[in-house]
Amino acid sequence: MTAPLLQRASARPAAHHWRADRMRRAFFFASIEQYIVAIVGLASIAAVSRLLTAAEIGVAAIGIGVSTIAFAAKEFASADFLIQRRALDRSDINTAFTIAASASAAVSAILFGAAGLIEAAYAAPGIAVFLYVMCLAGLADAVSSPTQALLRREMAFSVLARVNVAAAVATAGTTILLADAGFGLISVAWGQAVGAATKAALSVAWAPMRLPIRPSLATWRAVLSFGGSKGAMTVIDRVYEALPQLVLGRTMSHAAVGIYNRSTVLSGIPDRFMMSAVFSFTFPALAARVREGGDLKSAYLKAFSYIAAVYCPALALVALIADPIVSFTLGEGWEPVVPLLRLLSVAAIFWVPMIITTPTLFALGANREAFLASLYGRGFGAVIIVGASFFSLTAMAASQFITLPFYAWISLRIARKRIGFAWGELALETLRNAAVLVSSLVLPCAFVLRSESGLGMMPLEAVLCGVLTVPGWLAGLWVCRHPLRKEVELMCVQMRNRGYEMRGISPLRAGARR
C-alpha cells in the first residue's frame, strides 16, 4: 500500500507544476497577442488619422457603432457556452455553430434592410454601403467565434495568438492601403471585413477537426440559458460604448464625432498596453481562489491593488503628456483632441473597481448581480451623456466624472455583499494606491514645471517623462509596502538569475560568493 501512496503523492506536485507551466505558457501567449494587436491597431490609427478627414472618421465611427450594437445581440447565444460546458460532445459543437450562423444571418439581414434608414437619419452619404460591408464581417465572425471558443477552452493560446495577430495585420493593412488609394471611409469597413474573413479562414485551417458535421439544435436550451445575463450585459455595454458617437452624430457635426472617437481611442492606450501584463498574474490567482474556496476577500483586495498600482499612474501619465501623444499619433489638425484626452484619461481612474468586480461576480456565478450593476450604472450614464451632448464635446468628456464614480459605487455595493470586504479595508487599499500614484508623478510634474515648453512638450520630452515615472513608482511601492512590491522583487531576482545563467554562472554560486 505504501508504494502506490508514495507514487500518487509524488505525482501530485508533478501534475501541479505541469498545470502551472501550462497556465504560464497560455497567459504568456495571450499577453504577447494583446501587445502585438495593440501595436498594430495603434499604427493603423496613426496612419488612418493622416489619410482620412475627421468627418470621414466620424461617419465610420457611427457605422461601426451601429453594427457593433446590432451584432452584440448574438451574445444571447454566445459561443462561450462551449468554454463553460463541463462535458462537451459533438452535439454541443454542432448546436453552437448552427445558432451562431443563424443569429449572424438574422442580424445581417435586419441591418442590411435598415441601412438606408440609418443613412437618412444621420444625413451621412456612405453609411449604407458601409453597413452592407459590415454585414459581411458579421457573417465571417459566425465561423470564427465558436472555433475560437473551443481553442480558449483548450487553452490553445499560441494558436489563438497567431490567428488574432494575422487578423489584426489584415485589418490594418487593408484599411491603410484602401485609405491611401482614396477610398475614403469605406476603407475602414473593408478592413474590418477582410480581418474577420482572415480570422475565420485561419481558425478553420488550424482547427479543422472542430468543424460541425451537420446543423443541429440539440442543446439550444443550454446555449440560450448560458447567454441570458451575459448577452444582456454585452448589449448594454456595446450600446453604452457606441452611444457618444451615435448621439453626437445627431447633435453635432460628423467631424465632432471623429474628434471624440479619437479621444476615446487614445485614452484606452493604458488599457491596451498595461493591463494584459497585470491580468497574467492577477486573474488566474483570483479564479483559482474561487475554485478552491479560499479567502476570496483578500484575493479581491490584492487584485484591486495590483491593477490600481499599474493602471492609475499610466492614465495620469497619458493625461500629462496628452499633447505629444496626439501630435505624434494623429498628426496635424487634431489639436481639439488634447483637452478631451486629458479629461477622459483622468476620469478613467474611476473605472478601476469595475475591472476586477465584474469578472469576480461572474466567477462566483452572480451573473444576475453583474447584469444589474451594468444596467443601473450604464443606464444612469446614458442619461448623463445624452444630456451633455447638447452642450459640447468638453461637457461629454467631463460627464465621465459623474457616470464612472456612480457605476463604481453601484458595482462595489453589489460586490461587497458577495465578497464580504469592509469599506475601511477598501479605503486603506485606495489610499495606498493613491500614494503610489502621487509618488510616480512627482518627477514628471517637476520636469514639466521646469521645462520651457510646459505641457506642449516634444515627443522626446514625453518619453523622458515616462522614464521619470519609474523611480517614483518604485519608491511608492516600497514606502507604502504595496503587495505588488513582492512581484517586482521576484521579477528582479528572476532577471538576475537569468543573467547569471547566460554567462554560465550558477545563481547559487553567485549568491554564495556575495
All three cell numbers of 85? 460546458
> 53 or 496: whose pLDDT is higher?
53
Confidence of residue 190 (pLDDT cuts 50, 70, 90): very high
Report the pLDDT value the prediction gives residue 157, as an integer from 0 to 100: 64
pLDDT digits (tens, 9 = 90+) for 254-291: 888 888 888 888 888 887 776 655 554 455 455 556 65
Q: Which of 12-26, 91-105, 314-328 holds the top average pLDDT?
A: 314-328
Contact criterion met (CB below 8 Å) for 289 and 295: yes
pLDDT at residue 8, rounded to an integer: 41
Q: What is the pLDDT of residue 385?
A: 86
Tell me the percentage of the chain whose pLDDT exceeds 90: 8
pLDDT at 13 over 60: no
CB 473 within 8 A of CB 339: no
If you average pLDDT over residues 356-385, what whole number do you get? Answer: 79
Q: Please tell me the pTM assigned to this model.
A: 0.75
- The Cα–Cα gap between 189 and 133 comes to 6
Q: Which residue has the higher pLDDT, 141 or 438?
A: 438
Report the 10 Å Cβ neighbour count for 31: 18
For 352, the grid coordinates are 478601476
Has residue 231 got a pLDDT over 80? no
Q: How confident is the model at residue 40 (pLDDT cuts 50, 70, 90)?
A: confident
pLDDT at site 1 = 43
pLDDT tens column, 413-423: 888 888 888 88
Q: Is a pLDDT exceeding 90 seen at residue 343? A: yes
Per the model's pLDDT, the better-predicted residue between 10 and 444 turns out to be 444
145-167 residue pLDDT tens: 777 776 766 666 677 778 888 88
- What is the C-alpha to C-alpha distance for residues 462 and 97, in angstroms, rounded to an integer? 48
Question: What percentage of the chain exceeds 70 in pLDDT?
Answer: 72
Of 499 and 310, which is predicted with more confidence? Answer: 310
pLDDT given at position 481: 84
Q: Which residues contact 107 (CB under 8 A, 6 or more apart)?
A: 70, 71, 73, 74, 138
- Residues 167 and 202: beta-carbon distance below 8 Å: yes
Q: Which residue bears the cell 475602414?
A: 188
Under a CB-based contact definition with an 8 Å cutoff, are residues 339 and 267 in contact?
Answer: no
**Distance of alpha carbon 398 from its chain centroid, rounded?**
22
CA gap 209, 391 in Å, rounded? 55
